[in-house]
Amino acid sequence: MKLIKSVVNILIGLFLVIFFIVLDYNYFELLDAKYDISIAASQMQNIQSVSGNTIDEAYYQQMGSILDGFCSLQTGVLINTAAICTMLHVLFLVAGIAFINVGVAGLFTLNSNKAVT
């Protein structure tokens, strides 16, 4: 029974470590947010080139400020999402190493009735 627990722990640990290595680290590309922000930024540049002399131009300037707020909100959400994903990424690595350590320790104590201290 102890052998099975040890082998399962090692396999779980290897899975988590391999998942850590294989997982794409570029979360901004996964969220496809660079593209959205670049579109909004290009629209803002087009709108901000208007001088604002007529009602239509004032409307477009107002839309530019709305897009500006939207871009800053999106950037904040992206930074938080990337930080959470990075923490989860590191958690997978640490958990995988811990599972491997427990499994190897279990293999070394197969014939022992004492706990490893």
Q: What is the pLDDT of residues 68-100, one digit of tens each?
A: 666 666 555 666 666 777 777 778 788 888 888
Phi and psi of 63, rounded to 5°? -60, -35
pLDDT value of residue 61 = 65
What residue type is 82 in one-letter code?
A
Domain boundary assignment for the chain: 2-108
Return the ∠ at Cα 81 (arms to 24 and 18), rounded to 5°: 30
pLDDT at residue 115 is higher than 60 = no
Q: How far apart are CA 11 and CA 13, in angstroms?
A: 5
Contact 49, 57 (CB under 8 A): no
At 104, the pLDDT band (50, 70, 90 cuts) reads confident
Of 82, 53, 114, the residue nearest 61 (C-alpha):
53
d(CA 62, CA 7): 63
Is it the case that residue 32 has pLDDT exceeding 70? no
pTM of the model: 0.47
- Angle at the Cα of 50 from the Cα atoms of 75 and 43, rounded to 5 degrees: 30
